[in-house]
Structure 1
Amino acid sequence: MTQNILIIMEDDFGDDGLVKMLDSWGYKTHFLLKTDTNKIPEIKPDLVIMDVQPDDPEAETIVNSLDSPTIYLPLVRKNSDLPSMTTYFEGAVSDEKLKFAAEMVVYHTQTSKNLRQNHETYRLVYENAPMAYQSLDESGNIIDVNQTWLEKLGYKKEDVIGSWFGDFLNSTHVEQFRYNFPKFKAAGKTSNIEFVMVKADGNEITVSFDGKIGYDSRGNFKQTHCIFKDITAQKVAENAMKESEKYYKTIFENTGTATIIVEEDSTISLVNTQFEHLYGVKWDEIEGKIKWTDLVTIQHLPKMLKYHKLRRSNPEEVPRNYEFDFIDSSGVIKNIFVTVAIIPETSKSLVSLQDITCMKVTEDTLKTTINEKDTLLREIHHRVKNNLQIISSLLNLQSRYIHDTDTLDVFKESQNRVRSMAIVHEKLYKSDNISKIDFGEYIQDLVGNLLYNYDIDPNKIRFNTNIKNIFFDVDTCTPCGLIVNELLTNSVKHAFPGDMNGQISIDLKDNEGTYTLYVSDDGVGFPEDVDYTNTDTLGLQLVTNLVNQLDGSIEIINKGGTTIKIEFKDFNM
């Protein structure tokens, strides 16, 4: 950077030699007469060379107005009273002396200027640094703080300087400072020391200190240099995180089931106490040392590996719950019911394991017991059916010795009733479901039995049934079967006299648990002078009693034949 030199002369004869010489040394020169000081250039010169008498009043005015270092030519008095004048020469001035003097003055001026600028820059940075700064003496009293320190805590500088640092700490941290400050001085540095400081308004902040000791030229303690950062928000977050971890750790430990966390590479990274009991060793022998796949039998390993991979790529295709065989630390195989879920925003699995070995044993025992019970019930139904069949056969044998038509009809009707009950038990012991009977199939068998017993010509009387997907237990099926048997028998015997042809229909409708049974024929119709609720006929009495047993209702519709409508509910559903 080129320095500016202003030459002020006493008279107007000029000094081109001096100007040329200064220009040759690299300076930029400006020339001015003493009488033209009002024409001083706007630029401030780095050096003024004056060829005037030092004690000239006008010279003093010029020097004071410029406030720049000055060299006088040709002679300078050492005892000059002008404070801004610098003595460089004594006697005549040579070119070499002038060059040396100019370089020294300019260098000194630039160095002073740089120092002032550096000092101002340092002070500006110091006062506006984002980190709070403080300096303590050997007793812990505050020597200096920066503006950030004051703004953080809300104090005025005059209230802080000279005070003991412990006066600004929470009471629980004062003794901590007393204990740590001597250690800090002995070690020469410290870092990440946390204190709770009290602000001017009484609120508290948590801060973290880093610092070093400053020493004098002899190596003795001079002062501390410390900075701190406000970590209050960080501590709140850390405390919240600790509380959250404590909360979830408590849940993890007290789920009531063995629970583990499995990493993407199948390593078990965390276990709870229940899993220790399930596997048979302590957590420090499991966490980070055992893989999830080490606990699975070879039979179930392919499935587990497939699920583990799919759970991270396409979780919708993997069941959350399933069973597998688990191998504990002693090699014992246990039946396990497992629930697995991916922890959100991670590739880790949360796995809950429930030992169902005893449950499976109980389940197998129950299955065996149920199978034995089913076998026993089938045998009972088989024997009841056989006994009813024997009764039906006895009635049939006895009927061969009866020649009275009315008595023979009574025997046939009784035989049909017994047969209708026998069919129920036959259906039960042959069915896969020991407790339910397909009522439609049952009625088909009942109609077939009736056709056989009464030797009915299917071309004369046709039977239609409309019963689909309706199943009853034995308590509902038996009375319903007897009712249908009585109504069909009545239609066969009375609806189609002589050579009259006709049709008999059986329909059963299910309306959300309420059933409506229709038994209808297109015969001569039900006699209007007969009260079915008060009759001596055993069949109608039986129908009425069985409907009451089902807690149902009965209605006779005489229109184009006879339709018997019965409504009831299946209370055993």
Structure 2
Amino acid sequence: MVENKPTDLFHGHPLPAWICEPHTARIIDVNEAAVKAFGYSRQQCVGVCLHDILREQDRPYEVHTAPVMYEDKNCWLMAAHPAVPGEDGASGAASRLREVMRFSKTGIAELTLGTGELTLSAELLELLEESPEAPLRMTLAAFIDKYVTEQDRALIYDKIKEGMYDAGQPVSRVRVEFKMITAMGTVKDIEAMGSFLPDGVAIGMFRDVTRRKQRRLERQTLNMIASRTSNGILMIDARGRITWVNQGFVRISGYALEEVVGRVPTFLNGPETSPETLAYMENMMRQGRTFRTELIHYTKSGNKYWVDVEVIPLVGEDEEPPGFMVVQSDITSLKTAVQEMLRSEELLRTITDHAPLVVFMKDLQGRYTFYNKLFKDKFIRVPPPKHGLYTDHDLFEPSQAEVFTSSDQTVLSSGRLEEFEQEVVTDGRSETYLAIKFPLRDEHGRVCALAGVALSITERKRDEVELYQKRRALKKQNQVLEIINLAQLQFIRDVKPTIFFHTALKNILALTESELGFIGEVLERNGEPYVRTFALIDTRDEELTPQDPGNIGAGVEFQGVGAPLERVIRLGETVVTNRPSKDPRPGYPPLRSFIGIPILRSGIQVGMIGLANKAGGYGNAFRQELQPLVIVIGYIIEALRTDQERKASEDMIRESEKRLRETADSLAESEARYRSIVDDQQEMICRYTPDWRLTFVNRAFERTFSHHKQLIGESIFNFLPGRVHRERREFLEGVVAGTIKPRALQHETVLGDGTHQWQEWIDVPLRNAQGEVYEIQSIGHDITGRKKLEAEQARLDKIVRESYNEIYLFNIDTLCFEFANTSALRNVGYSLEELTRMKFSDLFYYPDEFALQALLGPLRRGETDRIQLQIKHSRKNGVYYDVDTVIQLLEGRSFVAIATDITQKLITEKKLISSVLEKEVLIKEIHHRVKNNLQLISSIIYIKILALGKSDVSDFLENTRKKIHSIALIHERLLQTNNLDKVEISDYLGKMLYDLQAAHDNQSMQLTIKAEIPKTVFDLDTAIYCGLIVNELVTNAMKHAFKDRGEGTIVVSLVKDVNTFILQVRDDGITLPESIVPDHAGSFGMQLLQIFAKQLNGAMEIIREKGTIFLIRFNQRVV
């Protein structure tokens, strides 16, 4: 397949060949063989119709055509060959067509329409990825099933049908695109062209357009991206001409799309455009490589601008670039800013090189972008690094570089000017500098760099250090005295111990410049010494370890922590270490330095002071500096121990008093809790003395009996009716004496409003330690509802037992009787004791017990809630009688059967049935006589019609006869069925329509009568009026609707719409005149129709559409 441009094979092929537009055959391109054979150059051929050139030739030519792709367009490849005399036209054309196809890469298939056989070309087999040994012939259906995706198969068959049945063209052509599945499983997009020839042969040409569709999608995506970017984008073909630009290019250059398409981009260059850059770009494009450079272009108005250009080759199928994509970014403002910066940098260097200060600038990565001459002379001792810019790590020792970098980050983080004093070692000499650093910001206010100046203050710093050390020694002595004075004052004022020790420790940490510290008491546990802190401070977080302000013993304990702390508390010696790398154990704060000072009283260690993490470590001088303070703290610890012992005794006394108060409070709470519990109960609770006076009632008792009067002190017998006083008193006296056990009693009570209520009470005596009853507690609740239920239950039980119907209860599993009411026992003659030894199957006449179990199965499984059947019962004397029995499942445990004696009912039913049969025979006789009489009347009218001949009277009599016949037909149908008052309407109307069509005597007109009536049963009156309406409408249509016509159709239908029936009679004859409407009927027939419709409680409607339609809507109950 020729893709994108003519191939070398096309231009070098020996056959004359042209690329032409489809259908018009106008030439687009021509090969060398055609130029030589016909004498026309390429410029002369382009745009000319190939057939015009061939007509000018002296000899005939055979032209062979194949579809190809040329520059992404559908074209024809047309090859010409002189006609050879005597050569078989078919074989010669085929061989030359194969020669043309050899370089067109188009798959060919020939379809014989009569047999459906398909012949495949070698190119098509290659397109299908089949092996050369694959068969060249197969059926069309096999080809489609194997190689066409399922969703496109129907499309292929439709296109073949379209080509086969297009009889308007001598040669029918169709085109279709579909998805093909090759033998290797690859899915391809295929374009197929089919030519259907008059000799029953179709030629199909197949081309793979997968890559074309992919490129089209890629171009659409690229166009979408290019249209939305602010950069300029140009598309250039292989000849170097612009084919498309985006809006970004139009905005930058000022040129519109139509002004640049087809031009070489060199028109954008100008006097200042670098020739070397242009030569570089031309070389890179020739090699088909991606590259990027900067270039000066000129706008349409002549203004110069800088662009950053990136050129990307677009690779085609043959890996040769069919063109390039050029992306341009306008960098004019950036170039201008860089030039201004270079001029400013020169001026700045001139000023700073003559200043007595070190001046420098750094970027955000810490690289020196500028420094003056003094900086270079003092600090630069190494050659520049490979990246060209120095950093602090290139110029200074690692520790110094880290300090400088840290100070830079402080400035950049804060965003403001910062002042630093920094030590710098160069050439073995240490110098001190006062450095000022500040951030630099861009036009948007963002920090973009850092600048700084530094002044050497080495001499001044040395004098300041000596003065500082002397002042510091004096200050420490004063601080120790102040701490001692403050400690004594706090102790005298009885300040809380933890506050006292915390204040002292805080002052000691400030004095010694330590980060961690504690003051603790040395104690013993199981013979092992340990330290419990009074105060523990970490100045890094400025947090005091939580302690109980009122308890000096609530601190942190240190025990078994190892050296150096162990040496202090065990030996009572001062321990100083400035490298405690392994101390203390894991989990404790890391220690860089440590000093532990013991606190002694009378040679006994009572405490210690621990300090840690002083910068530079501790010396032995610290012990001497702190000795006065250590002595004072020792005195205070000893005094605290004495005071602590005294407080312990006082605490024991207070604890005893507290327990006594808690016991009393507990008793009060218990009483309150008891009242809260009983007040929340729904039951009535009261307590009363042995002389029956109330001492306590809960809320429920109070709501029931109070009625706005005081209850406490009342006698409990005030709430009882007089008739129960004696019984209740004797019972309570027996409970108090212990001769009667407490139990529940039910009796009436008198409520607060005077009404009576049934209640149940239980009375429990309360005894003291001596066993004497001091109170009785009673709990009661309302049982009025229960009493009513018991009465109702007794009433229902009486109803069941005395019911006229027989009621049986039998076991769900064994079917043994459990209960039978009085009526049942009286009818069957058994006693209840005899019946409970029998099964249900013993009494009821049923084939066997297994059949009975099967009958009861649906009840057990819950598939039904009742079973009703007529069955025979067996009395004790062996006599059977008929019963109507209903069986139900009762609470999942038993079956209940209710049986009614229907012996007399069955006798009565038999008499009624016999009477009905006699009446049905009489009614049938009546229908028979009515039918015969109506038929006799119809026959008399018919004879009269024959005697009168054709006249209005004969027509009236004929219509009357047909109406009588329709009524007689009703009686005939009733005689043929078992129902004497119901008519099956489809059968009745069908027979009527058949008779009407049989009576049609116009031989010159072919009449068809159709019935579309479902099987529906109507009552007798409805059926008669439906028959009269249909008879009238069909007769009128036969008479008037088809005048001067050779054929006609009448359709009678009946449909149901929800609860409404629609009877429809329509014909395709002459439309009924507009003057005839149902409400203003002029004819006798229309008046009859109105009367019949009203008898059906319906309405009539006329529709004039392709004939006439009569609709009668009526509501009628279907029998």
Q: TM-score, normalised by structure 2?
A: 0.30
Aligned residue for 2:906?
A: 360
1:524 paired to 2:1079: no
Measured after TM superposition, the shift of residue 244 of structure 1 is 7.9
Measured after TM superposition, the shift of residue 409 of structure 1 is 2.7
Aligned residue for 1:343?
A: 890
Give 3-state SS (helix, strand or coil) of 1:269's partner.
Answer: strand
8 Å Cα contact 1:554/1:567 also seen in 2: yes
Alpha-carbon RMSD: 4.6
Distance in 2 between residues matched to 1:402 and 1:293, nearest whole Å: 82
Aligned residue for 2:261?
A: none
Q: Which amino acid aligns with 1:361?
A: I
Measured after TM superposition, the shift of residue 481 of structure 1 is 0.9
8 Å Cα contact 2:997/2:1009 also seen in 1: no
Aligned residue for 1:446?
A: 992
8 Å Cα contact 1:532/1:540 also seen in 2: yes
**1:198-347 alignment, distance < 5 Å:** 246=794, 249-253=797-801, 256-263=804-811, 264-281=813-830, 283-284=831-832, 286-299=834-847, 303-308=851-856, 311-312=859-860, 314-316=861-863, 319-344=866-891, 347=893
Measured after TM superposition, the shift of residue 352 of structure 1 is 1.6
Distance in 2 between residues matched to 1:173 and 1:296, nearest whole Å: 55
Measured after TM superposition, the shift of residue 521 of structure 1 is 1.1
Higher alpha-carbon deviation: 419-428 or 169-178: 169-178
Q: Which amino acid aligns with 2:879?
A: V
Q: Which amino acid aligns with 1:328?
A: R
Higher alpha-carbon deviation: 496-505 or 418-427: 496-505
Aligned residue for 2:961?
A: 415
Structure 1: segments with no counterpart, 5+ residues: 1-151, 157-168, 181-189, 209-229
Aligned residue for 1:38?
A: none
Distance in 1 between residues matched to 2:789 and 2:1086, nearest whole Å: 82
Residues 499, 320 of structure 1: alpha-carbon distance in 2 compared, 3 angstrom cutoff:
closer
Identity of aligned residues (%): 25
8 Å Cα contact 1:388/1:422 also seen in 2: yes
Match of 2:915 among 369, 372, 377: 369
Measured after TM superposition, the shift of residue 533 of structure 1 is 5.6
Distance in 1 between residues matched to 2:1077 and 2:728, nearest whole Å: 105
Give 3-state SS (helix, strand or coil) of 2:845's partner.
Answer: coil
1:570 paired to 2:1119: no
Match of 2:945 among 399, 413, 420: 399
Give 3-state SS (helix, strand or coil) of 2:1066's partner.
Answer: strand
Q: Which amino acid aligns with 2:825?
A: E
Measured after TM superposition, the shift of residue 459 of structure 1 is 7.3
Distance in 2 between residues matched to 1:339 and 1:437, nearest whole Å: 37
Measured after TM superposition, the shift of residue 491 of structure 1 is 0.6
Aligned residue for 2:1099?
A: 553
8 Å Cα contact 2:846/2:852 also seen in 1: no
Residues 237, 541 of structure 1: alpha-carbon distance in 2 compared, 3 angstrom cutoff:
closer
8 Å Cα contact 2:819/2:832 also seen in 1: no
Measured after TM superposition, the shift of residue 247 of structure 1 is 5.5
Q: Which amino acid aligns with 2:726?
A: S
Measured after TM superposition, the shift of residue 450 of structure 1 is 0.8
Distance in 2 between residues matched to 1:514 and 1:237, nearest whole Å: 55
8 Å Cα contact 1:197/1:207 also seen in 2: no
**1:463-482 alignment, distance < 5 Å:** 463-482=1009-1028
Aligned residue for 2:1033?
A: 487
Distance in 2 between residues matched to 1:370 and 1:204, nearest whole Å: 66
8 Å Cα contact 1:516/1:568 also seen in 2: yes
8 Å Cα contact 2:865/2:889 also seen in 1: no
Higher alpha-carbon deviation: 362-371 or 262-271: 362-371
Measured after TM superposition, the shift of residue 374 of structure 1 is 3.3
Distance in 1 between residues matched to 2:1004 and 2:984, nearest whole Å: 24
Distance in 1 between residues matched to 2:761 and 2:745, nearest whole Å: 6
Q: Which amino acid aligns with 1:273?
A: T
Give 3-state SS (helix, strand or coil) of 1:491's partner.
Answer: helix
8 Å Cα contact 1:551/1:568 also seen in 2: yes
8 Å Cα contact 1:307/1:318 also seen in 2: no
Match of 2:726 among 171, 179, 185: 171
Distance in 2 between residues matched to 1:206 and 1:484, nearest whole Å: 89
8 Å Cα contact 1:377/1:429 also seen in 2: no
Distance in 2 between residues matched to 1:535 and 1:205, nearest whole Å: 91
Rg bigger for which structure?
2
| Number of residue pairs matched by the alignment | 382
Residues 236, 546 of structure 1: alpha-carbon distance in 2 compared, 3 angstrom cutoff:
closer
Residues 342, 318 of structure 1: alpha-carbon distance in 2 compared, 3 angstrom cutoff:
closer
8 Å Cα contact 2:1071/2:1105 also seen in 1: yes
Give 3-state SS (helix, strand or coil) of 1:336's partner.
Answer: strand
Superposed CA deviations along residues 384-416 of structure 1, whole A, max 9, x for unmatched, are 222212222222333332333444333322221
Structure 2: segments with no counterpart, 5+ residues: 1-685, 691-723, 748-758, 765-777
Measured after TM superposition, the shift of residue 488 of structure 1 is 0.6
Measured after TM superposition, the shift of residue 422 of structure 1 is 0.9
8 Å Cα contact 1:170/1:196 also seen in 2: no
8 Å Cα contact 2:841/2:848 also seen in 1: no
Q: Which amino acid aligns with 1:352?
A: I
Distance in 2 between residues matched to 1:482 and 1:204, nearest whole Å: 82
**Higher RCO (CA-CA < 8 Å; seq separation 6+):** 1
Aligned residue for 1:77?
A: none
Aligned residue for 1:514?
A: 1060
Residues 242, 407 of structure 1: alpha-carbon distance in 2 compared, 3 angstrom cutoff:
closer
Residues 253, 232 of structure 1: alpha-carbon distance in 2 compared, 3 angstrom cutoff:
farther
Give 3-state SS (helix, strand or coil) of 2:863's partner.
Answer: helix
Aligned residue for 2:970?
A: 424
Q: TM-score, normalised by structure 1?
A: 0.55
Residues 532, 252 of structure 1: alpha-carbon distance in 2 compared, 3 angstrom cutoff:
closer
Residues 572, 458 of structure 1: alpha-carbon distance in 2 compared, 3 angstrom cutoff:
farther
Q: Which amino acid aligns with 1:461?
A: L
8 Å Cα contact 1:173/1:195 also seen in 2: no
Distance in 2 between residues matched to 1:556 and 1:297, nearest whole Å: 66
Which structure has greater strand proportion?
A: 2
8 Å Cα contact 2:1076/2:1082 also seen in 1: no
Distance in 2 between residues matched to 1:512 and 1:368, nearest whole Å: 40
Measured after TM superposition, the shift of residue 339 of structure 1 is 2.3
Measured after TM superposition, the shift of residue 477 of structure 1 is 1.4
Residues 239, 483 of structure 1: alpha-carbon distance in 2 compared, 3 angstrom cutoff:
closer
**1:23-34 alignment, distance < 5 Å:** none
Measured after TM superposition, the shift of residue 309 of structure 1 is 6.5
Measured after TM superposition, the shift of residue 355 of structure 1 is 1.9
Distance in 1 between residues matched to 2:928 and 2:1072, nearest whole Å: 38
**1:146-165 alignment, distance < 5 Å:** none
Distance in 2 between residues matched to 1:193 and 1:321, nearest whole Å: 53
**1:87-106 alignment, distance < 5 Å:** none
